[in-house]
Structure 1
Amino acid sequence: MKLTSRPSRKLYPYQQRDAEQLLARLANKTGYRLLYQLPTGAGKTVIFGELVRHFLGSNTGQALVLTHRTELCRQTSLVLKNAGVSNKIVCSDTDKIRQSYYRCFVAMVETLKNRIDEGLFDPAKIRFVIIDEAHQNVFNKLLDHFPQANIIGVTATPLSSDINQPLHHTYNELYTGESISSLVKDGYLASPSTTRYDVELHNLQQGTGGDFTTSSSDELYSSEDMLNLLLNAYRNVAKGRKTLIFNNGIFTSRNVCEYFSKAGYAVRHLDNNCTAEERQEIVEWFRKTPDGILSSVSILTTGFDEPTVRNIIIYRATTSLTLYHQMIGRGSRRLANKKRFNIIDLGGNVERFGAWDAGIDWQGIFANPDQYLASVYGDLGNTAPAIQVEVRSNFPNTSEFSFDMQTACQQAASDGQKLKVALNDSIRQHALMCIENAGSIPEALALSAHLV
């Protein structure tokens, strides 16, 4: 189905195609729920702005866009206005909604639920709903209020935040948009350069939600050896360019900030305990500082857009595919003077989920999320042995050097080779590590003692 009128701004070919495909899937349907997957940075807000504009131009009902964060609410409202769609924001400080005056509303999920419960908003007038960050299950409490509305949920990762509420129980089907690799190839997203640092993660503990606990992460990532490894990784790969560092805990992030500050770098810390004024000041500082480093916790994964970020450092381990893509997506915006960006992984995340731009079977994950999650959690105990942190810090110039001797021996045997082949490979790798991190033969010999 074609858009009814010329878009308010020129859409990219894949955006035009997706908008028309989504409309075609909703044609002649009522109460249909469609999930739309599109990578971070591909312009999903622009697309659903055009979808709302199309709906209002060809229907008599009202439209609603639901978000779960204040910054997303205001950003979405602005995009809609730029698309020529007048709209009303419904957030915590909204007293009078004047529903008959507007045809489009952008609402915080909790606030709208309260206004419906208070009788201040009539959901029966809504005929079209778009849900941003639809993998968040906080929206489910509202959906039954709109039985006559067609609903499009939009997300970069169609995997529910709640294992007990899979998305295929909420949505009738999944439509997948352009892949990350295609967007990179066609010049819409920046090309990633990934550097992995093997870190011993066996002391990390999983919490009830499945991800690693803040306390065990703080213990590992706030250690002197890990902080030193992080600093050397920054110096080797990212020095002098705008950098985001993602941490699991506030304690670690503050330590990162202090460590980098003592080393003479321009760095700030940001977490969800900061006031709105503090956050605005810190973000503005980051925007204006070309070599700025911003260490954060749980606050910049959504609703934050700073295209000039050139380095993403994942200074944590996570079992969340969604979080993995959200973090990396903060650096993927492409500019005329920014065609590439760096990903530095210090949490085994690339090994756990695959390369950021690798293909993913989203339809399979949508249909069988339990199977996918079982593979992620099952792999946690089957990763190749990694070197201890205190030893690891002596080799900052070597990114990947875990060596599974058992696997190497089995491979040699299956190839009909003598087991000394595996031993020689191990010795060769250790020698290379010493050469990469030593400035002289005596230094190399000293380093070799750590590998005995």
Structure 2
Amino acid sequence: MIAEISRKTTANKKRVLFLVHRKELIDQIKNTFEFVGVDTNYVQFAMVQTIVRNLDKTLTPDLIITDESHHGLAASYQKIYDYFSDVRRLGFTATPVRLNGDGLGGINDILIEGVSVEWLIENERLAPYDYYAPKLMQQENLKIGHLKEFTKQSIDKELESHKAIYGDVIKHYLKLAEGEQAIAYCHSLDSSLKTAQAFNDAGITAKHIDAKTNKKERDDTIQAFRDKEIKVLCNVDLIGEGFDVPDCSTVIMLRPTKSLSLYIQQSMRGMRYKPNKRSIIIDHVANVNTFGLPDMSRQWTLNAKKKVKYDIETPVKTCIQCFGTYAGIDRKCPYCGHEQPIEVKETVYEEVDQDLEKVDKFEMKLNFKTAEECSSLKELQELAKEKNYKKGWAWVQAKRLGIR
């Protein structure tokens, strides 16, 4: 879609400024543009940081296209947008939400949604998937930092205190995806290195790469992964947006997150379409309990979310009764009122070695079973769809309950 828009623009001798946030994406994008027939003489491919440093030397474009535009509220992007304030802009993203949950209204005035992930799977544009996760998310001891994301230190404490988690990862890879190309998302450099070593010790070729890996080694590693010489590629948030490995079928999630954007980018990384391919998502940290399945319907908006103040290092609790997750020190669950028992620290890891179970759409789709439990028209519509109610039922219930 981006390439076709650029082809039509350059065919009229109009200039396109194409912004990316990582240099690794430029060669990949150039190849796609050339394949589609874009006149690249009229396209400037550039990293945001490069343009910011050279605004006065940059030719004025007729169109600015921003790839992965959920980054666009950053100060560097806005300097470019302000400098070329009269130039039309298009932003593209699979996740129109910032890492902190805010919408993108600060830099966009229109949100155009494409077809749903469910449609893309049904129409063979994305691969179908099987999702495996533990039943209960163990996040009681994780902390929220100032970026409203789990802190590295608290994840270290929970995931690396017991070496059993690495054996668990190997066991489930062999059980669910043996021989498949897999990307493992880890939460820290040390964790990624240890995970790669664990796979290699088990006779499964694996390698770690990170942002500081020199370009030649990183390019050689990724090519070896594409050539299936490496089975498992371990990283820390490096392989995500725009990483083009169509034959990668498996994602191993070893990094808890509170970011919907990050969750979608990582969980769907193995869903690039290929005939007869089925992606396997192995979620060892139960992110699915927080966000639902990758293809569930979501309501996107340009508006900022309602601000919630978090104290640095606020503990996060998961109710063992209703699985509701909340920040705070209260033992009483705000969702169901269940009084959380005081847990002995040594029991935190009891479920680390349990078998992961397949998560079905029906199981994850709804957290409400009656109209009275719904808080929006969209939820009523989802309930109607699951219950096979007649068309119009949701609207009648919304009017009855005073829901908009």
**Secondary structure of 2:266's aligned partner:** helix
The partner residue of 1:203 within 120, 127, 141 is 141
* Contact 2:132-2:356 at 8 Å conserved across structures: no
Alignment partner of 1:323 is 2:262: yes
**Normalized against structure 2, the TM-score is what?**
0.75
Equivalent residue in structure 1 for 2:126, among 174, 177, 189:
189
TM alignment of 1:153-232, pairs within 5 A: 153-161=91-99, 166-197=103-134, 198-222=136-160, 223-232=162-171
Residues 195 and 397 (structure 1), Cα distance of their counterparts in 2 relative to 1, 3 Å cut: closer
Report if aligned partners of 2:139, 2:317 keep a CA contact under 8 Å in 1: no
| Aligned with 1:263 (options 182, 202, 211) | 202
Q: Offset of 1:294 from its aligned partner? A: 1.3
**Is this contact kept in 2: 1:199–1:392, CA < 8 A?**
no
Deviation readout 1:274-302 (Å, 9 max, x if unpaired): 11011112112212227701111121112
Question: Which position in structure 2 is the counterpart of 1:79?
Answer: 32
Write the letter of the residue equivalent to 1:142.
I
Give how far 1:81 is off. 2.1
Q: Deviations over 1:227-275 (max 9, x none)?
A: 2222222222122211111011011111111222222221111111211
> What's the CA shift for 1:104?
2.0
- Counterpart Cα distance in 2 of 1:271 and 1:189: 27
- What is the CA distance between 1:368 and its match in structure 2? 4.3
Give, in whole Å, the separation in 2 of the partners of 1:104 and 1:313.
37
Q: 1:127 maps to which residue?
A: 62
Q: Alpha-carbon deviation of 1:383?
A: 4.2
Deviations 1:386-423 (A, max 9, x none): 894532245336678xxxxxxxxxxxxxxxxxxxxxxx
CA 372–56 in structure 1, closer or farther in 2 if over 3 Å, else same: farther
SS of the equivalent of 2:62 reads strand
Distance 1:259 1:160 in 2: 34
Residues 269 and 393 from structure 1, CA distance in 2 versus in 1: closer, same or farther, beyond 3 angstroms?
same
Counterpart of 2:4 in structure 1 is: 50
Cα deviation code 1:5-50 (max 9, x no counterpart): xxxxxxxxxxxxxxxxxxxxxxxxxxxxxxxxxxxxxxxxxx1111
Count of residues paired in the alignment: 329
The one-letter amino acid paired with 2:105 is: H
Residue 290 and residue 355 in structure 1: after superposition, are their counterparts in 2 closer, same or farther (change >3 A)?
farther
Contact 1:225 1:390 in 2 (8 A): no
Aligned partners of 2:165 and 2:353 also within 8 Å: no
- Letter aligned with residue 220 of structure 2: E
> Partners of 1:193 and 1:254 in 2: how far apart?
27
* Matched residue, 1:281: 220
User: What residue is the counterpart of 2:303 in the other structure?
Assistant: 367
How far 1:83 moved relative to its partner?
A: 2.5
Q: 1:161-187, CA deviations, whole angstroms, 9 ceiling, x for partnerless residues?
A: 466x75112111100001100000111
CA contact (8 A) 1:317 1:349 kept: yes
Percent identity, aligned pairs only?
A: 26
Superposition map of 1:250-399 within 5 A: 250-289=189-228, 292-338=231-277, 340-363=278-301, 366-370=302-306, 381-384=317-320, 388-396=347-355
| Secondary structure of residue in 2 paired with 1:232 | helix
Distance, in Å, in 1 between the alignment partners of 2:271 and 2:97 is: 21
Question: Which structure 2 residue ranges, 5 or more long, are not aligned?
Answer: 324-342, 360-404
Give the distance between the partners of 2:356 and 2:88, measured in 1 at CA. 54
Correspondence for 1:143: 81
Distance 2:318 2:350 in 1: 22
Q: CA offsets per residue over residues 82-129 of structure 1, 9 Å max, x none?
A: 222233xxxxxxxxxxxxxx432111111111111xx3224xx32211
Q: 8 Å contact 1:199–1:347 — kept in the other structure?
A: yes
8 A Cα contact 2:104 2:304, kept in partner: no
* Larger CA Rg, structure 1 vs 2: 1
The answer on whether the counterparts of 2:16 and 2:42 sit within 8 Å (CA) in structure 1 is yes
Work out whether 1:66 is the aligned partner of 2:1: no
Q: Secondary structure at the match of 1:135?
A: helix
Tell me if the contact between 1:53 and 1:83 (Cα under 8 Å) persists in the aligned partners: yes
Q: Measured at CA, do residues 168 and 348 of structure 1 come closer, stay the same or move farther in structure 2, by a change above 3 Å?
A: same
Q: Is the 8 A contact 2:152 2:188 kept in 1?
A: yes
Instruction: Please report the RMSD computed on the Cα atoms of aligned residues, expressed in angstroms.
Output: 2.7
Return the TM-score normalized by structure 1.
Answer: 0.67
Q: Which whole-Å CA distance do the structure 2 matches of 1:266 and 1:348 have between them?
A: 26
- Shift of the 241–373 alpha-carbon distance from structure 1 to 2, 3 Å rule, reads farther
Amino acid at match of 2:239: L
